[in-house]
Structure 1
Amino acid sequence: MATRVLKANKLKETPGERMFMGLIYTFLSIVLIIVLFPLLNILSSSFSSPQAVISGQVGLLPVDFSLEGYKAVFRNQNIVSGFMNSMYYTVAGTFINVLLTIMLAYPLSRKSFAGRGFIMGMLLVTMLFDGGLIPYYLVVKDLNLLDTRWAMILPTAVAVFQVIVARTFFQSTIPDEICEAAELDGSSDFRFIWSVVLPLSKPIIAVMTLMYAVGHWNAYFDAMIFLKNQDLVPLQIVLRNILITNTIDPSMLSNVDMMTAQSGLKDQLKYALIVVAIVPILILYPFVQKHFVKGVMIGSLKG
């Protein structure tokens, strides 16, 4: 009986609507193929033999399965050090980003906060006007952050766009009445944020965590400007040197006497390093995907 009711209530699609949806699915399928093909080719090349890579035999599946590229990646100390540095910048930087963004966005979402309009206006000014690269460098230099890990974290500690999205989320999700009820019960502001705001803010925290983490993991321009010590550079700088300047440490090559094998291993190494660089973000996304979609929609549309 319930099945009949559902079928009766189901709206019938017109031929035009079915054709439109068919065109959408066709277009999205084409986009998916365009995006997946280079990714699968890179993944397959990273697991293929150097000879197969250099001869162009690799397509969507590995040819002559080999792990030489990954062995070469983890045999080089610069890559291992860069990977660990990127992990540090991503974890520490994202924690500071999310913490400061919540501390700034939540007060701005409360109507009782005096001067919130002026502060929000000053934040928006920073989105419209940029001081430029030279003043940016001078500020970091005057703060004695050059060639330190903090140079990769503190200058980008807060993103105004994330503050706006988080503030909108707080305004639409946590009404003032809940805050007033907590105050009547004797709850302090910090206790209210910890016990009420944070548990209700999992979607927006997931959004901020993913966006900030991706930004830190892919960051390389600040490292090029502020870091000279090679022990502090992130993985993206190492990847850039290999992909653009084509500089590879000879210790990464297992047979330096065979030029053909060297050239093939260089190409295979590039593909393996690309896979190593994107895997952490691919692992992170499934854990926050459920809250990510909800947080983006609420934080950007409501308010």
Structure 2
Amino acid sequence: MMKRSLGEKVFQGINVFLMTIVISVILIPLIHIFSISVSDRISVTTLQVSLWPKGFNMDAYEKIITNSVFQRSMFNTIGITIAGTVLSIIVITMVSYALSKTYFFGKKLVTYFFVITMYFSGGLIPTYLLVTNLLKLGNTYLAYILPSIVNVFYIIVVRSQIEAVPHDLIDSGFIDGANEFRVLFSIVLPVISPTVAAISMFIALGYWNMWYPVLLYSTQKNMWTLQYYLRSIVFEKELENTLQNITEIIGSDKIPPQNYQMASIVLVALPIVAIYPFVQKYFVKGLMAGSVKG
């Protein structure tokens, strides 16, 4: 075992110190949120909860989970996330595959127009008029999915990965009689699967955290997503907290607004936190794909 020099030890110590600070900055607010969500109403109302829970109270979780709007929002979010991610990956990989071909006529021009959209958008009002008036997608799930279905940056990343696939491997598929679709889905996709998996996670996270399209295109509660439900809880309970007398909460069995808010945050974030450990290896592989040559 090699003996580390003094400089290496100092460098390692600084790294550990900085990472400890970063981890603390991330974990302490999460622990504080969870502690408030499960603490008793008197401790929460009188601001006695700091890092660890005081008492134990799951009433806020019970109220939220049994709420029909929350259940519908959960169903909507899961469906939109799955459908949006699948459609996005299909479109992105097919566009990337086409742009990776040297014989694709007008490839540079198409790529140029794609890149322009990364820096200049159509604007909020034109987009709203396009979705609601022209496409008639108001109060539909397609209004949440279609505007976000294509990401030019991901197209560029996937295209570069496809271009790195050995041409002999692709040519062997054509020699065996496969068409372009068969080559893409049976040969190319398995090779670039780590990259696709990492991108899929980013896309799914984007759909899961979506709330602004709901504000723009929906007027019905049964079309809400989890993030929009969380937004409504935070704003409504914040207003309730300013209007309600603290002594009324302490002297009754009412659940403090802070319990509702923090429990909602925990429930909305919990599915992603629970899934991430199982997809982490694909996430790391996807980020590292292409970083080492040779």
Deviation of residue 179 (structure 1)?
0.9
Matched, 1:14 2:1: no
The aligned counterpart of 2:189 is: 198
1:109-161, CA deviations, whole angstroms, 9 ceiling, x for partnerless residues? 23333322222111101012122101111111210111111100011111111
CA apart distance, 1:38: 0.7
TM-score by length of 1: 0.87
* TM-score w.r.t. length of structure 2: 0.89
Give the partner amino acid of 2:14. L
Q: Does 1:63 align with 2:54?
A: yes
Q: Specify the alignment match of 2:158 in structure 1.
A: 166
**One-letter code aligned to 2:138:** L
What's 1:4 paired with? none
1:156 aligns with 2:148: yes
CA offset at residue 93 of structure 1? 0.9
Range moving further from structure 2, 153-162 or 79-88:
79-88
Kindly indicate whether residue 249 of structure 2 is the aligned counterpart of residue 259 of structure 1.
Answer: yes
**Mapped contact 1:168–1:300 kept (Cα < 8 A):** no
Name the CA shift for 1:299/1:216 in 2 (closer, same or farther; >3 Å).
farther
Which amino acid in the other structure matches residue 153 of structure 1? I
Shift of 1:76: 1.8
Does 1:293 pair with 2:284? yes
CA–CA separation in structure 2 for the residues paired with 1:43 and 1:265: 14
CA distance in 2, matches of 1:51, 1:91: 41
Q: Tell me the SS of whatever aligns to 1:196.
A: helix
In the TM superposition, what are the counterparts of 1:248-287 in structure 2 within 5 Å?
Answer: 258-260=248-250, 261=252, 264-287=255-278
Checking the alignment, whether the CA contact within 8 Å between 1:54 and 1:263 is kept in structure 2 is no
CA shift in 2, pair 1:238/1:273, >3 Å = same
Note the alpha carbon deviations across 1:83-116, whole angstroms, 9 max, x for none: 2111111111111111111111122223333322
Task: Name the SS for the 1:153 alignment partner.
Answer: helix
Which residue of the partner structure matches residue 72 of structure 2? 81
Moved more, 286-295 or 107-116: 107-116
Report how many aligned residue pairs link the two structures.
285
3-state secondary structure, aligned to 1:59: coil
1:161-218 CA-partner distances (Å, limit 9, x unpaired): 111111122222x122211121112122222222222222221121121111111111
Cross-structure match for 1:114 = 105
Q: Find out whether 1:32 has 2:23 as its counterpart.
A: yes
Query: Using the alignment, how far apart are the partners of 2:291 and 2:117 within structure 1?
Result: 20
Which of the residues 126, 129, 137 maps onto 2:128? 137
User: How much has 1:52 moved relative to structure 2?
Assistant: 2.1
SS in 2 for 1:56: coil
Structure 1 distance, partners of 2:207, 2:20, is 31
Would the alpha carbon gap of residues 36 and 69 (structure 1) be closer, same or farther in structure 2, given more than 3 Å must change? same
Change (3 A) 1:298 1:80: same
> Is there any run of 5+ residues in structure 1 with no aligned partner, and where?
1-6, 250-256
Displacement after TM superposition at 1:301 (Å): 8.1
Query: 5 Å matches for 1:170-249?
Result: 170-172=162-164, 174-246=165-237
Structure 2: 5+ residue stretches without partners: 241-246
Deviation of 1:248 after TM superposition, in Å, equals 8.8
Using the aligned pairs only, state the percent identity: 34
Q: Does 1:95 align with 2:59?
A: no
Alpha-carbon distance in 2 for matches of 1:39, 1:247: 19
Following superposition, the deviation at residue 235 of structure 1 comes to 1.5
Maintained 8 Å contact 2:37/2:259: yes
Q: CA deviation at 1:263?
A: 6.3
